[in-house]
Amino acid sequence: MASSDMETYLMWVAGEEKPGEEELIPVEDPATGEIFAHCHAASASDVERTIALAQSAFESGIWSRAPRHQRADVLDKCATLLTAALPDLIALEVRQTGRAIREMKAQVPSLVRWFKYYASLLRVEEQPVLPTAGKLHNFLQRVPLGVVVQITPFNHPLLIAVKKLAPALAAGNSVIVKPSELTPLSTLLLGRLLKDAGVPDGVFNVLPGYGATTGKALVQHPLVRKVDVTGGTEAGKAIGGIVGGNLARYTAELGGKAPLIVFDAADVQLAVNGIAFGSFIASGQTCIASTRIIVQNTIWTELLAKLKEKTDSIALRMGAPSNLESMMGPLVSAKQLNRVEALVTEALNDGKAKVTTGGSRLHGFSPLDGTDFTKGYFYQPTILTSKENNSILQTRIWREEAFGPVIVVVGFDTEEEAVKLANDSEFGLGAGIWTQDVAQAFRVSERINVGITWVNTHHRNDPSSPWGGAKSSSGVGSENGIDAYHAYTTIKSTIINYASVEESLAADDWFSSSAGTVRYG
Q: Is the pLDDT of residue 4 over 70?
A: no
Measured CA to CA, the distance from residue 75 to residue 79 in angstroms comes to: 6
C-alpha distances (whole Å) from 183 to each of 242, 247, 309 are 25, 30, 33
- Assess whether 237 carries a catalytic annotation: no
Q: Residue 83 belongs to what H/E stretch?
A: helix 68-84
Q: Is the pLDDT of residue 3 over 70?
A: no
pLDDT at 5: 64
* Average confidence (pLDDT) over 218-238: 97
Confidence of residue 6 (pLDDT cuts 50, 70, 90): confident
pLDDT in tens, 26-43: 999 999 999 999 999 999
Q: What region does 144 belong to: left with phi over 0, alpha with psi -120 to 50, or beta?
A: beta
- The dihedral formed by the CA atoms of 40, 43, 47 and 48, expressed in degrees to the nearest 10: -140
Confidence of residue 513 (pLDDT cuts 50, 70, 90): confident
Measured CA to CA, the distance from residue 484 to residue 373 in angstroms comes to: 41
Q: Which of 13, 383, 402, 374 is CA-nearest to residue 218? A: 13
Q: Is the pLDDT of residue 128 over 80?
A: yes
pLDDT at 465: 96
Q: Is the pLDDT of residue 457 over 60?
A: yes
Return the ∠ at Cα 117 (arms to 55 and 51), rounded to 5°: 10
Find all residues with CB under 8 Å of 499, minimum gap 6, and list them: 134, 135, 507
Measured CA to CA, the distance from residue 132 to residue 346 in angstroms comes to: 64
pLDDT in tens, 144-155: 999 999 999 999
Q: Is the pLDDT of residue 2 over 80?
A: no
Q: Is the pLDDT of residue 1 over 80?
A: no
The DSSP string of 14-79 is TTEEE--SEEEEEEEETTTTEEEEEEEE--HHHHHHHHHHHHHHHHHTTTTTS-HHHHHHHHHHHH
Confidence of residue 519 (pLDDT cuts 50, 70, 90): confident
198, 188 in Cβ contact below 8 A? no
pLDDT at 127: 93
- Assess whether 302 carries a catalytic annotation: no
- Assess whether 78 carries a catalytic annotation: no
User: In this structure, how many other beta carbons lie within 10 angstroms of the beta carbon of residue 75?
Assistant: 26
* Average confidence (pLDDT) over 256-276: 98
Global confidence as pTM: 0.95
Measured CA to CA, the distance from residue 518 to residue 521 in angstroms comes to: 10
* Average confidence (pLDDT) over 302-312: 98
pLDDT at 517: 76
User: In this structure, how many other beta carbons lie within 10 angstroms of the beta carbon of residue 81?
Assistant: 19
Q: Is the pLDDT of residue 435 over 90?
A: yes
Confidence of residue 378 (pLDDT cuts 50, 70, 90): very high
Confidence of residue 512 (pLDDT cuts 50, 70, 90): confident
C-alpha distances (whole Å) from 150 to each of 79, 117, 218 are 20, 20, 9
3-state secondary structure of 356: strand
3-state secondary structure of 346: helix
> Residues 287, 310, 341, 401: which is the catalytic one?
287
> Residues 77, 163, 164, 257: which is the catalytic one?
164
As to burial, measured by CB atoms within 10 angstroms (0-12 exposed, 13-18 middle, 19+ buried), residue 148 is buried
- Assess whether 287 carries a catalytic annotation: yes
pLDDT in tens, 49-101: 999 999 999 999 999 999 999 999 999 999 999 999 999 999 999 999 999 99
User: What is the average pLDDT value for the chain, to the nearest integer?
Assistant: 96
- The dihedral formed by the CA atoms of 465, 468, 471 and 475, expressed in degrees to the nearest 10: -170
> Residues 253, 257, 306, 471: which is the catalytic one?
253
